[in-house]
Amino acid sequence: MTEMRRESPYQMVPIETARTMIMAHVTPLDSEEADALSAEGRILAVTISAPEDVPDVPKSAMDGYALRATDGLDARRVVAELTAGTQSGLQISPGTAARIMTGAPMPEGADAMIPVEQTEERDGVLTIQRKLRPGDNVHTVGQDIAQGQPVLARGTLLGPADVGLLATIGVTRVAVFRRPRVAVLATGDEVYEPGGPRPAGAVRDSNRYALMAAAREAGCETISLGIARDDYTTQRDAILRGLDQADVLLTSGGVSMGTRDLIKPILAEIGTVHFGRINFKPGKPTTFATAGGKLIFGLPGYPVSSLVSFEVFVRPALRALQGAARPERSLVRARLAAPIRPSQGRPEYQRVILSWRDGTIWAASTGSQGSSRLISMRGANGLLFVPAGDEPYPMGTELDAMITGVL
Ligand code: AMP
Ligand code: MG
């Protein structure tokens, strides 16, 4: 039997140091071409500028009449009807007007348009109820987007409006950063597939599936490496297999002080361990290593610890690998809706429900914060940063919170 160690050989690093050390090893992956019109969720690898003006000709902003402002309030003869999509070649001379629909190109000679509600037309004669100035209700060339204007910056995470913008300016192919390939390995003799039989006392592998889902949500492709028994060679082989196929490797479990916790020694053998403990709750034994330029995160076994560590340490790295201009989640100041008890020795990320009420963002705890209690993450849309302390923080205390869901 192996002796149980009493002290970890790894120095405890502060949260910020850990995050800085990780980022120091991240360089964005290469880029690839993608269909711009379905590129939501991808991150732009180039800045896109408008190849042309939008609109490219002056257009009517409403339904009404195109006319010359200088004709004042005089009655005008209606000479034509212009609908969106027509190219008329029509000339509006003094004393005339044309019916015009929203989005139709303005005819030559007309410098303003008046909405139909402010007019009367009888027997082809138009009278208007107010004076116009040149340019009134006309969409000018380049008013929405000017030719050459940067429209979307490198590092932008593309959303639905961005897809629309790219379509508007006729850009159908774009360079985006390659999605990182993330391999996930579960470890543990007590860990079994969720769908199969399970001896009494065994746990179902929730971590591998939750971590793969989290990696996909962060824009990555995932590779499942299955469950490795608590055996040095088995786990090392699985890790090497993962490094062969992936840019990033995540392991679950096997990083604590037990005699069957093998991940740290394996990572030290095949690569460089940059840190093996973080002064942080939940997830103190979170480990970060690199091997052959690839990133390896040894995440703890307890389901909450593994997902919170993913959120705080892994997700920003996955976003930075995709070249994101803002790899971090947004931070807000939130007020405690009820008192909470901090952890004595370690700063803690507590799962909370953030909500907006009376001009303030309030943070309500999701309940007991035990590391095995995955249900404490259900419905949470934030991680509240709770500095270490001896006394409860009273209701109304302002603390930083990371927005992890929909506020
Ligand atoms: P370990 O860090 O390997 O000692 O794991 C700590 C605890 O986390 C174990 O006793 C299990 O209850 C739990 N655990 C480990 N791996 C998983 C997993 N893949 N899915 C769910 N729970 C796990
Ligand atoms: Mg284990």
In this structure, what CATH number is given to the domain that contains residue 188?
Answer: 3.40.980.10
pLDDT in tens, 189-209: 999 999 999 999 999 999 999
Residues 273 and 372 in one domain: no
Residues 191 and 259 in one domain: yes
Q: Which of 203, 224, 309 to mutate to test the pocket of ligand 1 (most atoms within 8 A of CB)?
A: 203
Residue nearest to atom 5 of ligand 1 (CA): 301
What pLDDT is stored for residue 1 in this prediction?
64
By DSSP bridging, strand 382-386 and strand 348-357 are antiparallel
Instruction: From the CA of 256, give the closest atom in ligand 1.
Output: 2
Ligand number with the minimum distance to the CA of 298: 1
Single out the residue in 139, 161, 193 at which a domain terminates: 139
Mean pLDDT, to the nearest integer, of 351-355? 98
pLDDT in tens, 258-274: 889 999 999 999 999 99
CATH of the domain at 111: 2.170.190.11
Q: Is residue 339 part of a domain?
A: yes
Residue nearest to atom 6 of ligand 1 (CA): 301
What are the tokens at 135? 């340019």
Between CA 13 and CA 20 the distance in angstroms is: 11
pLDDT in tens, 239-261: 999 999 999 999 999 999 888 99
Ligand number with the minimum distance to the CA of 250: 1
Q: Is residue 386 part of a domain?
A: yes
Instruction: From the CA of 187, give the closest atom in ligand 1.
Output: 16
- Using 50, 70 and 90 to split pLDDT, how confident is the model at 2? low
Percentage above 70 pLDDT, the chain: 100
Ligand number with the minimum distance to the CA of 207: 1
- How far, in Å, is the centroid of ligand 2 from the Cα of 304? 15
Mean pLDDT, to the nearest integer, of 46-68? 97
What pLDDT is stored for residue 88 in this prediction?
75
271 touches ligand 1 (CB under 6 Å): no
258 touches ligand 1 (CB under 6 Å): yes
Residues 156 and 183 in one domain: no
Percentage above 90 pLDDT, the chain: 93
* 3-state per-residue secondary structure call for the chain: CCCCCCCCCCCEECHHHHHHHHHCCCCCCCEEEEEHHHCCCCEECCCEECCCCECCCCEECCCEEEECHHHCCCCEEEEEEECCCCCCCCECCCCEEEEECCCCECCECCCEEEEHHHEEEECCEEEECCCCCCCCCEECCCCCECCCCEEECCCCECCHHHHHHHHHCCCCEEEEECCCEEEEEEECCCEECCCCCCCCCCEECCHHHHHHHHHHHCCCEEEEEEEECCCHHHHHHHHHHHHHHCCEEEEECCCCCCCCCCHHHHHHHHCEEEECEECCECCCCCEEEEECCEEEEEECCCHHHHHHHHHHHHHHHHHHHCCCCCCCCCEEEEEECCCECCCCCCCEEEEEEEEEECCEEEEEECCCCCCCCHHHHCCCCEEEEECCCCCCECCCCEEEEEECCCC
Residue nearest to atom 9 of ligand 1 (CA): 301
Domain of 219, in residue numbers: 12-29+179-321
| Burial of residue 348, with CB atoms counted within 10 A of its CB: 0-12 exposed, 13-18 middle, 19 or more buried | buried
